[in-house]
Structure 1
Amino acid sequence: MKIRTLRARPTASLRVPVQLALLAAAALHASGAHAQAAPEAGEAQLLAQNLRAPTLSETVVAATRTPQPLADLVADISIVDRETIENSGATGLADVLARLPGVEISRNGGPGTTTGVFLRGAESRFTAVYIDGVRIDSQSTGGAPWESIPLGLIDRIEVLRGPAGAVYGSDALGGVVQIFTKRGENGVAPYVSVGVGNHHTTKAEAGVSGASGTIDYALGFARDDSKGFNARTVATQNPDRDGYRTTSGHARVGLQVNAAHRLEGTLMANDTNSGYDSGLGKNDRNLHTMHALGLNWLAQWSTAYKTRLSITDSRDQYETRPSPYLSDTRLRGYLFQNEWRLGAHLLTAALERREDRLENAPIDAKRSQDGLALGYGYNAAGHTVQVNLRHDSDSEFGGKSTGSVAYGYAITPQWRATASVGTAFRAPTLYQRFSEYGVATLRPESSRNVEAGLRYAQGNSTFSATVFRNRVTNLISFSGPGTCPSDFGCYANTARAEYKGVTFAGTYRLGDVQLHGSVDLQRPRDLDTGKQLARRAKQHATLGADTRLAGWTLGAEMQASGRRFDTVANTNVLGGYTLFNLYASTRIARDTTLLARIDNLADKDYQLARTYATAGRTVYVGVKWAPQ
């Protein structure tokens, strides 16, 4: 199957930033020959981080749902650690993800409002999201409630770009985001962090982690408050501030029963109250609560065989007041995972059950999915093979099978080529099937993806180029009147979409300065109309530099995006934009660090959704106390 590399011409607002990022990526590539010994090839994907490179022993979970060294991976993955999150100064998870290759976001106003994340241009509902292994989703809108996931309690993020239905089952057509909270280690490690910013923003975080004997623990609390800004600057909406406040907490406790068995419990919960305008004189509130609860038993039965048994529960409740609306999604999950490692071979087998329920008056509906997943991995002599097969049986529409095959070859110790094909699906949400706009006979949305990559890694220099094409059939869209009760319109399997493009990314150390950058050239489009999909650009890029000077860590970033359309009809244009961000941090006492950040330095006026304003220039200053 032939894959055509896109050569889309940048728009005027993006042309210079894209050229700069392309030149940076080319320079990073060309300069790699002068670096030192090569780390693992998978390190080439850790591109949008502005701090450390991963260690040789670092592992990731997102690719196969089992811990694997970066050197063994064929998948396209980025990792974000806690230090990067803190230096980002971001107020939301989506803002951090937007600085990674292949990621775009949309938002209806400020933090706490409806947010979408597009991996490689795929719909927001096509990304499967897990918190400490707990699946979170909305059976109303479809997709994770990004605005209700508390960034301050996250220790690590893994982002897998590309379909992963053969590993995760329903939903992972565009990719997977695995989120992890902190795990306790030896000793006691408390921390307290406070900060202030414009728009009367305050942030406070506190927590403690540690381990003693067979028990380890980590507890955390976070509170964000802001008066916000006027998110709707049109004449038909209130000219007031639309503020927000979030309160969140997490707990993670583990018991090492003996050398072979570990029990673990995790909990993350968040409550968000944010303002929005629904017309003149109407100051409504979004009330959003979320929790993710997991219980795990990990057992190492022999040097070759281990298992994991998990029971998970998550909830996403969204309410508006005084305008009456309430949607409540509950997900219950059961997973029994087996791993056999025989030399260079890794065999996996998993049994999984997922139970979904939606209460959204008059809807009170539920369904279940039972899945069997098999996997095989091989890594030796420069060759890496990963094969996965999965079958899911849905209580509503029957069975669905998915599969993937990936291969990687180390051309030299520095250069590595990869290729993969895979299929995935997403079952219709319960709202799409049983609301007044719903159709009970909707079929699953299905995708077929093919991609190839070339990666380079040596010393502090990395480079990657990944070309992909992901086609989706039975795409669910809102169509005209049909078989549903509503005369306004109905959901239907009426569309086909294609997400194809190429991502360039790289890192390079020039003296004391660490450079990183990425460029995405893509064409997310409706195959039936030829139109560009809403709120996604054909080009977007990042470029950054970090250094240490006189005890300070200093950094600068650029984020650029081409024009987008706010509607599927491509009638309302969202202009391209370029943002510049600065940050600095230094240790002001033995255990105390000062962080300052300016986002959107030039105060660029831009929109991520039509008629919804963005924050403009924002300034944040914070102090963190964490005994060493």
Structure 2
Amino acid sequence: MKHLLASASVLALATLPRAAIAQDDAFDLGTITVSASQTPVETSRTGTVVEIVDQETIENSTSIRVADTLDTLPGISLSGNGGLGTASTLRIRGLPARYVPVYIDGIDMTDPSGTQTSFGFGPLTTAGIGSIEVLKGSQSALYGSEAIGGVINISTLRATENGTQLRYNFEAGSYNTFASSFGVATKSDRGELAFTISHVSTDGFSAADENDGNTEADGYKGTTLILTGAYQATEQVKLGFALNYIDSETDQDGFPAPAFTLTDTANQEFATRLGARIYAEIESGAVDHTLSLAYSEINRDYPVGTTNAFSGERTELSYKGVTQAGAVDLAFGASYSEEKFAADAVTGTYRIASVFGEAQYAVSNDIDLSFALRHDDHSTFGGFTTGRLAANWRVSANTTLRAAIGTGFRAPSLYELFGPFGSPTLEQEESRSAEFGVEHRFVNNAVVKATVFYTEIDNLIDFAGAGYTQVPGTSTSKGVELSGRVALGAGTDLFGSYTFTDATGANGAQLVRVPKHDFVLGVEADLTDKLSGQLVVNHVAGRANESDFSTFPATPVPMADYTVINASATYDFSDTTQGYMRLENLTNEQYQTSLGYGTSDRAVYFGVRASF
């Protein structure tokens, strides 16, 4: 297993923009991150940048899609192939989804059957999601293969105090969209259990942009089940499990003959996605032990591409030990994983055995260092060792400096190795990353944060004419992230972020769909004691998109800049019940995040949610 996420309570702030600068506010609140280290640690003491989005932020987001919620964070950009359910790609600091593993309740849910192993955000809604952590930079020393751009860790809802809580949500709106969810969570001194079921259906809009003459609506239907539980069997032994399942049906547009251009087609993708994990946490004096077994399975019937039937499996067994040696916290362990895929009649398997260790050292009350080292032995291309060094210096009560360097690798995907367009001679991609950041809190409680980042990747694997091949040379992604928040008055905050990204391939050409400029500006306010609202403006500029896939490298062409304005409002009917409204694309901006694919026109959604 690439990484076993320890159990910890995650405290974060109340809104998405606040979550985007959670490290700043965590200086006072003691926010805990379970992603940035092998053991839970306060975000105020980490040397790497981690963004935390909490439950209230997720509920008050201006979209039902998790990908849209994350898109407003610094350093993250989104491109998609249409509406809900269709392929959606999140990039971290210019690096696409194949460099960003995604975990749900500690289960690696990236798709081993995909052409390049990645997580499909298309069908994932916010129903049942409790918190999200985004860790940036090369993190293979903690998470193994794929973790070159960063890691996204999603935790589902569960009880935070003893007792039983019921939750429900119902929403309706544009495009004949209906969404509902029901959840129950219970907790006692010895155990806990949480369950959520949700369903969403929509007629949608044309995946192929309607402004290009495409009029057929592409709808989506999906059902999600989430189940987690834990039991304190003895004072020393805790047993637990997690399960998630999504069954989805998505209308797709394709590239039919003879023109082979994107247009309306009556195709549907049917997919199921399952993740399961069982674990045992054992306290045995000097060393705490965690044993875990995780399994994930994805099946897709995809009628649009040259390959139509995809299936993938991943089984991961892991052990981790945690101990203390003076001022040093030590974590160490080993893991074994097996991944399988089938693409039509083509199949393939590989295995990875890993050992890892991390030391966290409190040099003083104001300085923390951490060092992680990992060795992965891959059954196809052999062994690879990665490391990460991070430092945190709290210069004063209001100023913190952070710095981190790390190495990473991405093993060729099963499809790249064994698929109809793959090659078994491909070798791993290798990365190096560095970041330096500063955050400062002013006397009026205003907060600013700045991070400079740099990542380079050797031996990039890309598609060239007849198949996947190794690209000689070094690709780079570098830039700066800025974010801040200031109170305009009682109950009213102004927030914003700006990310500049310069991402280029080995040939010097701009990497596709990566915005050079990504600007977010918003305001949130308590309008009355019951009514609150949020307005968010997102401006994206300086993108390129591939225009000719028959040449290598493909020729990038400029994509139009766009500005989208979204809003949300919440009204408290009582202490347990809220009504809300979401307005997407207020100005009815006509824009594309991927060349040729449509986005939502102005849309409005109304909902009610309650917990008791």
> Does the pair score TM above 0.5?
yes
For the residue of structure 2 that corresponds to 1:155, the secondary structure is strand
Q: 1:297 aligns with which of 272, 280, 292?
A: 280
C-alpha separation in 2, matches of 1:65 and 1:93: 25
Superposition map of 1:210-359 within 5 A: 210-233=186-209, 239-278=215-254, 279=256, 282-302=265-285, 305-321=287-303, 325-359=308-342
C-alpha separation in 2, matches of 1:235 and 1:114: 20
Match status 1:149 vs 2:119? no
For the residue of structure 1 that corresponds to 2:416, the secondary structure is helix
Match status 1:514 vs 2:493? yes
1:114 positional shift:
1.0
Give per-residue Cα distances to partners, 1:30-53, cap 9 Å, x unaligned: xxxxxxxxx99xx99955379x95
Query: Aligned AA for 1:204?
Result: S
Contact kept in structure 2, 1:437 and 1:491, CA below 8 Å: no
C-alpha separation in 2, matches of 1:328 and 1:289: 10
Q: 2:464 aligns with which of 479, 483, 488?
A: 479
Query: What value does the CA root-mean-square deviation take over the aligned residues?
Result: 2.4
C-alpha separation in 2, matches of 1:238 and 1:510: 45
Give per-residue Cα distances to partners, 1:70-116, cap 9 Å, x unaligned: 22211101101111111114122111110111000110111111111
Q: Quick one: structure 1 residues 381 and 273, their matched pair in 2 at CA, closer, same or farther if it must change by over 3 Å?
A: same
Structure 1 partner of 2:349: 366
Contact kept in structure 2, 1:308 and 1:338, CA below 8 Å: yes
C-alpha separation in 2, matches of 1:299 and 1:125: 34
Structure 2 partner of 1:548: 526
The runs of 5 or more residues in structure 1 that have no matched partner are 1-38, 481-487
Contact kept in structure 1, 2:17 and 2:495, CA below 8 Å: no
C-alpha separation in 2, matches of 1:565 and 1:474: 22
- Out of 209-218 and 93-102, give the one that drifted further: 209-218
1:236 positional shift:
8.6
1:436 positional shift:
1.9
Structure 1 partner of 2:96: 123
Superposition map of 1:38-437 within 5 A: 47-48=19-20, 54=26, 56-139=29-112, 140-141=114-115, 142-184=117-159, 185-233=161-209, 239-278=215-254, 279=256, 282-302=265-285, 305-321=287-303, 325-379=308-362, 380-437=364-421
Contact kept in structure 1, 2:16 and 2:61, CA below 8 Å: no
Structure 1 partner of 2:604: 619
C-alpha separation in 2, matches of 1:516 and 1:496: 36
Contact kept in structure 2, 1:545 and 1:557, CA below 8 Å: yes
C-alpha separation in 1, matches of 2:21 and 2:216: 37
Structure 1 partner of 2:517: 539
TM-score by length of 2: 0.90
- Out of 587-596 and 217-226, give the one that drifted further: 587-596
Aligned length: 578
1:569 positional shift:
4.0
Contact kept in structure 2, 1:291 and 1:316, CA below 8 Å: yes
Structure 1 partner of 2:260: none
Contact kept in structure 2, 1:532 and 1:570, CA below 8 Å: no
Structure 1 partner of 2:451: 466
C-alpha separation in 1, matches of 2:157 and 2:284: 26
Contact kept in structure 1, 2:302 and 2:310, CA below 8 Å: no
C-alpha separation in 2, matches of 1:183 and 1:215: 12
- Out of 272-281 and 92-101, give the one that drifted further: 272-281
C-alpha separation in 1, matches of 2:103 and 2:373: 21
C-alpha separation in 1, matches of 2:281 and 2:123: 29
Q: 1:558 aligns with which of 537, 541, 557?
A: 537
- Out of 561-570 and 599-608, give the one that drifted further: 561-570
Contact kept in structure 2, 1:148 and 1:288, CA below 8 Å: no
Contact kept in structure 1, 2:59 and 2:126, CA below 8 Å: no
Query: Aligned AA for 1:445?
Result: E
Give per-residue Cα distances to partners, 1:14-33, cap 9 Å, x unaligned: xxxxxxxxxxxxxxxxxxxx
Identity over aligned pairs, percent: 28
Q: 1:500 aligns with which of 456, 478, 487?
A: 478
The runs of 5 or more residues in structure 2 that have no matched partner are 1-10, 257-262, 547-552
C-alpha separation in 2, matches of 1:311 and 1:399: 23
C-alpha separation in 2, matches of 1:611 and 1:347: 50
Structure 2 partner of 1:610: 595
Query: Aligned AA for 2:541?
Result: G
Q: 2:570 aligns with which of 585, 603, 614?
A: 585
1:235 positional shift:
9.3
Query: Aligned AA for 2:221?
Result: R
- Out of 61-70 and 314-323, give the one that drifted further: 314-323
Contact kept in structure 1, 2:75 and 2:481, CA below 8 Å: yes
For the residue of structure 1 that corresponds to 2:509, the secondary structure is coil
C-alpha separation in 1, matches of 2:183 and 2:210: 42
For the residue of structure 2 that corresponds to 1:598, the secondary structure is strand
1:206 positional shift:
0.5
TM-score by length of 1: 0.88
Structure 2 partner of 1:5: none
Contact kept in structure 1, 2:134 and 2:150, CA below 8 Å: yes
Q: Quick one: structure 1 residues 228 and 384, their matched pair in 2 at CA, closer, same or farther if it must change by over 3 Å?
A: same
Match status 1:445 vs 2:423? no
1:320 positional shift:
2.4
For the residue of structure 2 that corresponds to 1:589, the secondary structure is coil
Contact kept in structure 2, 1:477 and 1:491, CA below 8 Å: yes
Query: Aligned AA for 2:293?
Result: I
C-alpha separation in 2, matches of 1:393 and 1:535: 33
Give per-residue Cα distances to partners, 1:535-587, cap 9 Å, x unaligned: 01111011222121222111111111103111164543321111111111011
C-alpha separation in 2, matches of 1:343 and 1:319: 55
1:381 positional shift:
2.4
C-alpha separation in 2, matches of 1:580 and 1:45: 15
Give per-residue Cα distances to partners, 1:271-313, cap 9 Å, x unaligned: 11110122467300011211111111112223x5312111000
1:510 positional shift:
2.8
1:499 positional shift:
0.5
Q: Quick one: structure 1 residues 418 and 626, their matched pair in 2 at CA, closer, same or farther if it must change by over 3 Å?
A: same
C-alpha separation in 2, matches of 1:125 and 1:307: 31
C-alpha separation in 1, matches of 2:479 and 2:429: 21
C-alpha separation in 2, matches of 1:45 and 1:412: 24
1:234 positional shift:
6.5
Superposition map of 1:20-35 within 5 A: none
For the residue of structure 2 that corresponds to 1:88, the secondary structure is coil
